[in-house]
Amino acid sequence: MPVVEADIRDLKSLGVTEEEVETVGEMVKAVLEEKEGDLWKFEVTSDRPDMLSSEGIARAIKGFLGREVGLPAIRAAEGPELKVGSPKRSCVVAFSVRNVDLRGPVFRNLIQFQEKLAQILGRNRREAAVGIHDLDRISGPVVYREAKPEERFVPLEMYEKMSLEEIVKKHPKGIYGRDSGFGFQVFEDAEGIISFPPVINSERTKVSEDTKNLFVEITGTNPKTVEDVAKIMISNLCERGWAVERWVIGGEARPDLSPRQINVETAFVNSVLGLELKPTEISAILERMRFGVLDASERISVLVPPFRVDVLHPVDIVEDVAIGYGYNNMVPVYPKVHGIGSTLKETDFSEAVAEVMIGLGFQEILSFVLTSPKNQNEKMGVRTGGVKILNPCTRRFTTCRTWILPSVLEFLSANCHREYPQKVFEIGDCVVPGSTETGFRTKRKLAFAIAHDRANFTEGKSVVEALLRSLGLSWEIEEKKHPSFIESRCASVTVGNREVGFFGELKPEVLLNWKLEKPVVCGELDLERVMP
C-alpha cells in the first residue's frame, strides 16, 4: 500500500490535532505507521489517491469527527486557453493556482502529492503524469504539441540546453522514460519549451517555496486517469482556499468538477451491513464522509465529490457508511451456516504417506516450488520441460520444479558437513506439462533420500517396499535406465501397469554436481498415481 509522509505542522494548520490524527487516521484509511520528528508516515489504501496529501488526510479526519460535513467547496474558474497540437500522448488537462503559499512543509507536500499521483493513479506516469510550474515565469500563450527529438531546452537541475533525445539518453529521469516509450511532446510558451512531459520540466519555470502562482499540466494516455488526477489535485488544493483556474481546451474548461449523483437504497445499505439504520442516520454519516445528500428517503440520492474516483457502485457508498458508523461499533455475529468440514483427499493421502516415512525414520523437509533449470536438469543430467517465468527476479528462480527429487538433493547438499546418516523426504507440488486450459498441471509428488557411508540400492528398496506395502498396493520392481542413477542400480516401480516412481543409487557424477561426499540412494513417487 502507498506510504505518504505528512508534516504534522501542516496537518495542524489544516485543522486537526495530533491526537485526532493518531486515533482517527486508521478509521479513515490513513494508518499512521511511524513518526520521524514532524514527519509522520501513513499507509494509505490504494483506492483513495485523494489521501496522498495532507489536505486529503485532514479533510477525511475533520469530516469523520463531524467538524466539517457534506460536500467540500470545490470551485475553479475558467482560465486562459491551452492550444493543443496533435501529440501522441494525447490526453491533457491544465490549470493554474493563484496566491499560493508554499513555505514550510507545504512545498514538500505538493511535490510528493504529484509524484505519488503519477506513480499510483497514473501507473508510473504512463497513464497520467503531472508537471508543476511557476506561472509567473511563463509568458504568452501556452501550447501543448508533438515535438522533434532534436528540439532543445534547459531541463530541471541542468545548466545547459539539451535536446529531447539527449535527455532521454542521459538524464536520470529520461532514462526511465526511454523504457516506457513515452514519445516526444512539449509544452511551450512565448520563450520556448517549458516542459517535456512526462519526463522533465524546464529549469526556467521551476517551482520553489517562494512561488506565488502555479501552472499545472497533466498529460497521459488514459483520458479518465488524466481527468481523475486533475480532479483530485484541484479538490485538495481548494482545501487550502487557493483559487484555481481550469484552462480551456477545445472550447471547454476541464475537468468537470460537479459531483456525480448515485442512488443508494436504504434497504441495500442495511442488508450489506446487517444494521437497521434510518435514512436520516445514513445521510448524516454520509455527510461526515464528505458526500452530499439530496434526498434522505428509502432511496437516498448521494452526491459524490469529484475526488472520490474510487466510487464505482452503490456498495462503495455502503462501505463509507460502515466506516462512518465505525467498524468497531458494530456487533460481530457468527453466521449460522451449515458446513461439514473436510480436507482434500490429496491432503489426507499426503499425511498418510508422511506418517509412514516418519515411521521409517525420515525427517520431512520443505522446499520452494520455484527453482532453476540448473538444479532441475543440469545437476541431475536430465532434460525436463517446465514453466518458463518471463520476469524472474533472480537466476535461482526461473522455473517451477517438474520433479521433486532435486529439491531433496539440494537439501542434502546444504548439509554435507552435518551428522550422518541423513534420511529425509519431501511431499510437494510440481508443475508439469498437461492438457489443461493453461497447458500445465499441478502434481503432488514424494521424494526421499538416504545418505551415509554404506547407503545402497537394497536399503532404498526396503524403504520403497515398506511404503508401498503400508499403502496397501501391489507393485512390480523392474530395472530402469535413468541418467541420474548408476546403471543396473536403478529401478522403476509399477503399480497396475503404470510406472508410479523410480529409485536407485545416484551416479558419482550427480553426487559431485551436488558436492555430496557420501553415497546416496533416493527415489521419487508420483502420489497422484498411487492415491486410491
Partner 1 sequence: MYELTPEGREYLENGLPEKRLIRKIHGILGNKKKVRDLVSMPGFSIAFSWARKNGWVEVEGEYVKLTEAGKRALGEKTEIEKALESVAASGEAPKEALRVLVSRGLVKRKAEVPDEIAQLTPEMLLTGAWKKAKFKKYDVKAPAPAVYPGKRHPYSRFIDMIKRKFVAMGFEEAKSPIVELELWNFDVLFQAQNHPAREVHDTFFVEGSGTIPDRSLSERVKNVHETGWITGSSGWGCRWDYRRAASLVLRSQTTAASARYLYENRERPELKMFCIDRVFRPDVVDRTHLIEFHQAEGIVMADGLNFRHLLGVLKDFSERVVNCEKVRFVPSYYPFTEPSVDLYVRHPELGWIEVGGAGLFRPEVLAPLKVKKPVIAWGLGLTRLAMIYLGVNDVRDLFSRDIDWLRRKEVCLL
Per-residue CA distances from 212 to 98, 208, 295, 307, 487 (Å)? 7, 9, 41, 24, 84
Residue with cell 528398496: 461
Q: How far is the CB of 148 from partner 1 (least distance, A)?
A: 30
Single-letter residue type at 48: R
Of residues 242 and 440, the one with the C-beta less far from partner 1: 440
Using DSSP, state whether 404 is helix, strand or coil.
coil
Q: How far is the CB of 298 from partner 1 (least distance, A)?
A: 17
Q: Which of 358, 476, 478, 509 binds partner 1 (CB under 8 A)?
A: 358
Q: Which of 37, 181, 338, 472 binds partner 1 (CB under 8 A)?
A: 338
Given the rule CB under 8 A, which of 156-164, 191-199, 338-346, 460-468 is the region that contacts partner 1?
Answer: 338-346
Give one DSSP letter per residue of 273-322, joined into a string: HT----HHHHHHHHHHTT-EEEE-SSEEEEEEPTT-TT--SHHHHHHHHH
Interacting positions 275-294 with partner 1 (CB under 8 A):
275
Q: How far is the CB of 278 from partner 1 (least distance, A)?
A: 17
Interacting positions 107-136 with partner 1 (CB under 8 A):
120, 123, 127
Is 442 among the residues that bind partner 1 (CB under 8 A)? yes
Grid cell, residue 384, equals 525436463
Question: 203: left (phi > 0), else alpha (psi -120 to 50), else beta?
Answer: alpha
Grid cell, residue 58, equals 485532514
What x-and-dash track marks residues 203-242 binding partner 1 by CB under 8 A? -------------------x-x------------------
Is 267 among the residues that bind partner 1 (CB under 8 A)? no
Q: Which of 13, 17, 45, 163 binds partner 1 (CB under 8 A)?
A: 45
Alpha carbons 367 and 404: distance in angstroms, whole number:
9
Alpha carbons 452 and 403: distance in angstroms, whole number:
23
Interacting positions 48-87 with partner 1 (CB under 8 A):
48
Interacting positions 381-440 with partner 1 (CB under 8 A):
387-394, 397, 400, 410-411, 414-415, 418-419, 422-424, 429, 431, 436-440
Is 31 among the residues that bind partner 1 (CB under 8 A)? yes
Cβ-contact 306, 231 below 8 angstroms: yes
Given the rule CB under 8 A, which of 135-143, 156-164, 181-189, 312-320 is the region that contacts partner 1?
Answer: 312-320
Is 330 among the residues that bind partner 1 (CB under 8 A)? yes
Per-residue CA distances from 315 to 207, 211, 274, 310 (Å)? 41, 42, 14, 11
Is 26 among the residues that bind partner 1 (CB under 8 A)? yes
Is 261 among the residues that bind partner 1 (CB under 8 A)? no
Cβ-contact 50, 8 below 8 angstroms: no
Alpha carbons 101 and 342: distance in angstroms, whole number:
64
Q: How far is the CB of 225 from partner 1 (least distance, A)?
A: 9
Q: How far is the CB of 479 from partner 1 (least distance, A)?
A: 29
Grid cell, residue 133, equals 510550474
Is 328 among the residues that bind partner 1 (CB under 8 A)? yes
Using DSSP, state whether 437 is helix, strand or coil.
coil
Is 445 among the residues that bind partner 1 (CB under 8 A)? no
Q: Which of 66, 361, 385, 508 binds partner 1 (CB under 8 A)?
A: 361
Q: How far is the CB of 246 from partner 1 (least distance, A)?
A: 22
